[in-house]
Structure 1
């Protein structure tokens, strides 16, 4: 119960502006962190990553290829329309038509509306991660009338869902304001107003937390965490993320189309120094694309290590004994900019001259999707905690560009394995498939496999009810501010 002294506004800071508030519009974390307050999915993850009911009260596999959901009754969209099976059918078909997130539900061949509160999903083949994918924020249920009436404004100035908060305004580059959904089907939000501010500079987020400008600051940087540790009035909440940071290569562009060059760069970069000096130990070196907390992670992949001599040998073997010139892109994320500068020095040591280019977040996503880059620094959260999500979008040849494969990597054997992993329902056989896929991907080196991170959120000590979602999509309806 909210105390009498409870404040009615919760202010949260994150490191980037949303790209869109349309669930099917873009698959980035800053957008998702806002959208999970507005929209809901059929099922969701609890704190222990178990699948639990959300807009669906129950579900049953009628056959291995057919899944029936019983929907929650009495739910209203923010515009007053009733939530029904027709909305589920429309939303799933909209996901399948999305250039960005279709891969999540492409296995679905048909959606049947049995009655207003029963829906059946049919798949051409068994699809092992279907429930995990239906918990992904981009499969959230939208209201057809609001989408069609808003047209291009949907996701910009219009965002209608069923969640605990209602969209009020989005001031680009500044903040998104949401207000409590007074007609919410579940427990109403604890605060009347939620403001999510975009503050790219980590130190500024920390200062805003210190001075009371925000109540919660997401993803504090390591140096700020050290400074704030033990400071009165501030609670630091650390958790293991389901995310991997990497440097991606455009494997279609010479000389990065040469595997020897990509392997050489992996050996040239001192990733341990990134862990020790940039993240001050709040990260672990990654040997595979998957984080250790994801199902299917292969702990036996040895990966690459810092060996400048080996890097020079491979560059010479590839025909670049006299060096080469490349560019590396990042957005205005301070940690990524530090990584780029460190790697610029590492690569200079082996004869590779690197130009650093810093782009605005939306431009960065757009241009890497178009393949305009040489190298880029990015992260990927395995939001569904399953190997399919952590590998398919990033390495399957059908996912080139915006869906996730911004390296434009293609390997027919990897495609075969990733397709098989979706169909296989025996856990041991499925695990073996993903282990082989990771070994092959690491050998091909479309990435520099960087780090798996721990995240630290900072909270004022009067904030109650916050718990960190492992994928970073923190739901804030249960959070109160008791000053």
Structure 2
């Protein structure tokens, strides 16, 4: 009898993000020693292997296996030591970290506090222009006490700091890699300065630094994206953009034995192709198993699923800088025209829950008393009648080129037609989709956001603050001064009860303004071939974990 493995969010509380170590290899079990090469299919390609250059799920799934972070999380989202073995708050703005000794990077370089400093200095470098700098902007200085001790000095108290340090973009890179990347950018830009002179300019700031940063910025990240160097169990082997990324087992990994020799992440956008490969054993794991194929995988003798309640919210967003979506009445009309229960039952086959607001119930700051965007067609018509476009209008809904999301878009299209809004659906490849959304070229779009830190700061600040427009996360380009003030206060206030009050007020504003329509929280599901492997898990943030994978001997 097959057993589904399912993980609950009960008791998640304040705990934080991201999955820790995955691992694998390229195809199937080798009968001599029960080792193997693991293959995972993903719907979308990695955007980049540079941790500071994107914040998408596909890249994160891969990068957490290359880079270790100071703080790791287990499969139930409990915080645990990573490259930091101990940590404590010295005062409200100073944190001390004891670092793990005897660790080497894939390149052979020894891990020390200098690598920690180089990593966080880089993500905060204006020349890099990192889309995830908002996660670490409270860090004022990384003080290297000695090789295995650092202090993080913060500009202001920041309640969810430790959770942020467990984010996949907080992976520690070698200083050597970072130095080589900067040197390459200096050379490509034709600048007449040394690397040390650049670092001095960065420290000083000012016009000269801004000029240099502008000239070299476009070249930064080239080396890091092509030659990643971390300490986790996967060592980069090769990448064919749009096709696959291949890794070998890092033989000097300190985190325990692994049963794989290599891991390949294959890009298979089409759902039917992923299913066919899984059932025939051509791949071992499907990362994103959609609801339409759930029963097919569970009922197949050669396949099964792992499943977890998620911290992800799927939503319909509106570009509030474009007419008529700058009109609150239009947004409210759309919000009340959509029956989210029908989407959960009709598209997800009941595998998930209706979203009652911006946050999933396992996130700190979730409040079931917050007002919801109830389904009420007559109310939707009233809001539209009071809007700047009382007779309706034509628009577009952008969606990634994937069956389940297209089905959601089709349902929304039908719902909006009932109140006089004619929406054309446009499907796009994932990378182009994200780029064009970041540029603000859209009207409406369907996307999801996983609160990987399990803290409301990450779930609300990123999507609703004026500092995060575009690629950072706020693709609705929505904010208000009052909301900005609340979100700033929520991240700096150390008192949990006061933070809950702040986030309750923030969510009330967001729902009242409705820059997005919160649709559902779909369970994270991965399929695997039981004839090939056992021992995989999936986290509430959707990362497939395979450090305990075992290959089945025929």
Instruction: Say whether the 8 Å CA contact 1:74–1:83 is kept in structure 2.
Output: yes
How far does residue 285 in structure 1 lie from its aligned partner after superposition? 1.1
Q: Which residue of the other structure, out of 156, 159, 170, is the alignment partner of 1:128?
A: 159
Q: How does 1:331-342 map to 2 (within 5 A)?
A: 331-342=400-411
Counterpart among 388, 391, 402 of residue 319 in structure 1: 388
- Which of 28, 40, 44 is residue 68 of structure 2 equivalent to? 40
Q: Does 1:110 align with 2:114?
A: no
Residue 4 of structure 1, CA deviation: 5.2
Q: What residue number does 1:475 align with?
A: 545
- Structure 1 pair 409/122, CA: closer, same or farther in 2 (3 Å)? same
Q: Does 1:224 align with 2:293?
A: yes
**Which region of structure 1 is more displaced relative to structure 2, 299-308 or 261-270?**
299-308
Question: 1 CA distance for matches of 2:33 and 2:366?
Answer: 46
Q: Could you tell me which of 55, 59, 62 is aligned with 2:83?
A: 55
Q: Are 1:189 and 2:258 matched, yes or no?
A: yes
Please tell me the root mean square deviation across aligned C-alpha atoms, in Å: 1.5
Instruction: Report deviation, 1:470.
Output: 1.5
Q: Partner residue of 1:390?
A: 459
Q: How does 1:219-258 map to 2 (within 5 A)?
A: 219-258=288-327
Structure 1 residue 291 displacement after superposition: 1.1
CA positional deviation for 1:468: 1.2
What are the ranges of 5 or more consecutive residues in structure 2 without an aligned counterpart? 1-28, 185-220
Is the Cα contact below 8 Å between 2:242 and 2:267 reproduced in 1? yes
Q: How many Å apart are 1:27 and its aligned residue?
A: 0.2
Q: Tell me by how many angstroms 1:305 deviates.
A: 2.3
Matched, 1:310 2:379: yes
Q: Using structure 1 for the length normalisation, give the TM-score.
A: 0.97
Q: How does 1:162-173 map to 2 (within 5 A)?
A: 162-173=231-242
Query: Do residues 31 (structure 1) and 59 (structure 2) align?
Result: yes
CA pair 262-281 structure 1, distance change in 2 beyond 3 A:
same
Aligned partners of 1:5 and 1:300: how far apart in 2? 56
Residue in structure 2 matched with residue 16 of structure 1 by the alignment: 44
CA contact (8 A) 1:72 1:117 kept: yes
The answer to whether the Cα contact below 8 Å between 1:182 and 1:188 also exists between their aligned partners in 2 is no
Contact 1:165 1:189 (C-alpha < 8 Å) held by counterparts? no
- Offset of residue 42 of structure 1: 0.3
The separation in 1 between residues aligned to 2:359 and 2:270, in whole angstroms, is 27
The match for 2:7 is none
TM (norm. structure 2) is: 0.85
Q: CA separation of 1:200/1:405 partners in 2, compared to 1, >3 Å: closer, same or farther?
A: same
SS in structure 2 at match of 1:154 = helix
- The number of residues matched between the two structures is 482
After TM superposition, give the deviation of residue 17 of structure 1 in Å: 0.4
Contact 1:156–1:170 (8 Å) recurs in 2: no
